[in-house]
């Protein structure tokens, strides 16, 4: 009987240890999915690629953050702060975007969600250049194609 109690006691300890180990070593099931947050909270206004919906698309936004910040962590931090509390001073987009779309409202997300969606947006950068280009929208179309040849 004593042997059996020791065996069962050992089995209980092993089972509890296994459960605890699973609990701490398994990937966090509560890890926040930035894409899911985008789909739930942002995609109503933002498309991923042009054409825009009622706000600038994500790819040009991501490109702007990559142009402005060399550090991923700093870019994500600044983007999360903007999403939480947008102001004209924090806008990295062309000022015409504010005229066209208006300033976005603050999005009620917790810090973990803000960081997750900001990281997801940062990671959408493709290296493609977006925006007004080198001429900053001041081109007169002269010399482009065969349009102005006589």
Supply 16's token pair: 């509890």
Residue 30: pLDDT above 70? no
Task: Kindly report the average pLDDT of the chain as a whole number.
Answer: 76
Whole-model pTM: value is: 0.67
- Calculated CA dihedral for residues 85, 89, 90, 93, nearest 10 degrees: 120
How far is residue 49 from each of residues 13, 56, 133, 150, measured CA to CA in Å? 54, 9, 17, 37
Contact, 56 vs 101, CB < 8 A? yes
CA separation for the pair 142, 150 (Å, rounded): 12
In this predicted structure, what is the pLDDT of residue 128?
A: 78
* Selection from 15-19, 122-126, 132-136 with the highest mean pLDDT: 122-126
**Per-residue pLDDT at 10 exceeds 80:** no
Percent of the chain past pLDDT 70, that is, above it, reads: 65
CB 65 within 8 A of CB 121: yes
* Average pLDDT of the segment spanning 95-102: 88
Domains of the chain and CATH, by start: 32-122 (1.10.760.10)
pLDDT greater than 90 at residue 111: yes
């Amino acid at each position: 009987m004593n042997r059996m109690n020791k065996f069962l006691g050992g089995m209980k300890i092993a089972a509890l240890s296994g459960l605890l180990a699973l609990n701490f070593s398994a990937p966090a099931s509560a890890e926040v999915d930035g894409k899911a947050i985008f789909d739930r909270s942002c995609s109503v206004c933002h498309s991923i690629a042009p054409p825009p919906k009622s706000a600038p698309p994500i790819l040009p936004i991501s490109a702007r953050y990559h142009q402005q910040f060399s550090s991923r962590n700093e870019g994500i931090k600044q983007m999360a702060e903007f999403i939480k509390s947008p102001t004209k001073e924090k806008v990295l987009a062309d000022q015409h975007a504010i005229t066209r779309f208006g300033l976005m409202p603050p999005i009620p997300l917790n810090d973990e969600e803000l960081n997750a969606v900001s990281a997801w947006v940062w990671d959408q950068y493709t290296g493609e250049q977006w925006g007004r280009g080198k001429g900053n929208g001041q081109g007169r179309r002269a010399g482009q194609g065969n349009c102005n040849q006589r």
